[in-house]
Amino acid sequence: MKPSSSISEPAGRADTADGGLFDGVLARGPVREAVGDRAWLQAMLDFEAALAVAQARAGLFGTGVAEAIRAACRAEAFDLGEIGREAANTGNPIVPMLERLREVTGETAGVAVHRGATSQDVIDTAAMLVSKRALGPLLQDVCGAADAAAELARADRATPMIGRTLLQQAVPTTFGLKAAGWMAGLDAAAARLAEVRDSRLAVQFGGAAGTMAGLDDKGPEIVRALAEELELAEPVLTWHTERTRIAELGSGLGEAAGAIAKPALDVILMAQTEVGEVREGSPGRGGSSSMEHKRNPIAAVSARACAMRAPGLVAELLAAMEQEHERAAGPWHAEWRPLSDLLTSVGSAAAWLRDCLEHLEVDEKRLRENLARHGSGDDVGSAAELVAKALDAHASARASRPATRPT
């Protein structure tokens, strides 16, 4: 699958996007926009468009009707704020969205809109589309950070430094082996997230109770066509209250957050004034207005701050798995925010870490001095061989991730 190439930020974006005050720090990179309200609304409309196409393919109505619906499914024609306000009357934004959509399509096509679907079909499928589109840039940044760590590992595979346990100097290692560990964690997390994206993000379609009633037994056929249209997986059953997909998505993001936080913390610790082994090198960043001598590791600190959100947000999603009967009385609604927040936070953490590692300056003199202080020699065991093996594994991981490369 191609990553969505055009989730672009328009030139004239007003400065009023809420959350913007802290977004420079906490919502870095392209993921925030990919999970913004506009992106959600477009994904909801993408569902309606694809459903019309799929139902036309199944013969429920003519292609012309489907094309009329599809043409109307453009988010920029909808008043997002109005939909949001009216959502309070029904508990979700689908009813007001459909009213507008039917106004635009006109009566003939209007009766074909949303046939056999329920609100949750729309929002769940939209959640999958939004997640898939957000995972594109997110994975690019996780993989970019892994590549940067690999470069550090390669360059310094044999550069000795002191290993530390419980934050005490212990025995020697190499900086390359440390960086290879960062790389391995990031690769593992990326592999897991890619797996979730490719196998677990599925369309949702089943109607109020998931039976696909009122569709002349063509429900299963429509689901297959819908999955093809939207390039999502085809589920065996609806998953309105079977939320393992959400759990795996959330958990994969939580794992990535941890894999990001680890190198960020190591950079912060190595950048301590008294340790001085690394320094962030991005130009124009990290200065302190009051203390000129300071060079703050802003990227690592921000990556860590963003990643720290994950455990609580994953817990929210897991707690919301307990959903009643055919459609839940609260836990489903409770997924929307933590899912978006998790994508944003982990995406931001990944963008920061990539920046941090791509510009990391290693002070080899300090590495040597700190090691010498300890007097424990420089036997680094099999470090170089281990790094070589790890870089081989990284090369294999890279080879299997075409989808996350920039187009």
Question: In the bound complex, what is the minimum distance in angstroms from residue 38's beta carbon to its own copies?
Answer: 5
Question: In the bound complex, what is the minimum distance in angstroms from residue 336's beta carbon to its own copies?
Answer: 5
Token code pair at residue 85: 């306000």
| Shorter beta-carbon distance to its own copies: residue 82 or 198 | 82
- Nearest-angstrom CA–CA distance, 308 and 329: 29
Contacts of 206 (CB under 8 A, 6+ apart): 118, 121, 212, 219, 237, 238, 240
Q: Residue written as tokens 């892994």?
A: 146
Determine contact, residues 369/52, Cβ cutoff 8 Å.
no
Determine contact, residues 143/190, Cβ cutoff 8 Å.
yes
Half-sphere exposure of 141 (CA within 13 A, CB side): 27
| Shorter beta-carbon distance to its own copies: residue 140 or 174 | 174
Question: What is the sign of the dihedral through the CA atoms of 357, 33, 196 and 250?
Answer: positive
Token code pair at residue 330: 């609260």
Exposure letters 213-248 (e unless 16+ CB within 10 A, then b) = eebeebbebbbebbbebbebeebeebbbbebebbbb
Question: In the bound complex, what is the minimum distance in angstroms from residue 79's beta carbon to its own copies?
Answer: 5
Identify each DSSP E strand in 50-165 by its residue range: 160-165
Neighbours of 199 (CB within 10 A): 11
Question: In the bound complex, what is the minimum distance in angstroms from residue 221's beta carbon to its own copies?
Answer: 10
Question: In the bound complex, what is the minimum distance in angstroms from residue 108's beta carbon to its own copies?
Answer: 19
| Shorter beta-carbon distance to its own copies: residue 99 or 405 | 99
DSSP state letter for 28 = -
Question: In the bound complex, what is the minimum distance in angstroms from residue 94's beta carbon to its own copies?
Answer: 8
- Nearest-angstrom CA–CA distance, 340 and 348: 12
Q: Which residues are catalytic?
A: 288, 327
- Nearest in space to 1 (alpha carbons), one of 201, 158, 177, 188: 201
How far does CA 295 lie from the centroid of its chain? 30
- Nearest in space to 54 (alpha carbons), one of 250, 166, 203: 203
Determine contact, residues 186/146, Cβ cutoff 8 Å.
yes
